[in-house]
Amino acid sequence: MHFVLRANRGKNGKAAIYVRIVVNKTRSEIALKKSVAFDEFNST
C-alpha cells in the first residue's frame, strides 16, 4: 500500500492524495478525497 499524489486531479496548487494497492501485479487506486500542497507531502 502506497500513498501517491496526483497533480492533475488537484485544485488551487494542491495535489489529490490516492492510495495505491498492488496485488498479484494488479494495481488499484482509491481516492481519499483529500488534497495537500506538494511541499507538505513526505513520500518516505
Closest by alpha carbon to 34, among 1, 7, 10, 2?
10
Write down the pTM of the prediction.
Answer: 0.75
Residue 30's pLDDT is what? 96
Would you give the DSSP letter of residue 40? Answer: G
Kindly state the cell numbers that stand for 44.
518516505
Residue 38 has pLDDT above 90, yes or no: no
Angle at 30 between CA 16 and CA 4, to 5 degrees: 45
pLDDT digits (tens, 9 = 90+) for 12-26: 888 999 999 999 999
Give how far Cα 6 sits from Cα of 25, 38, 44, Å: 21, 10, 16
Judged against a pLDDT cut of 80, whether residue 9 lies above it is answered with: no
pLDDT over threshold 90, residue 28: yes
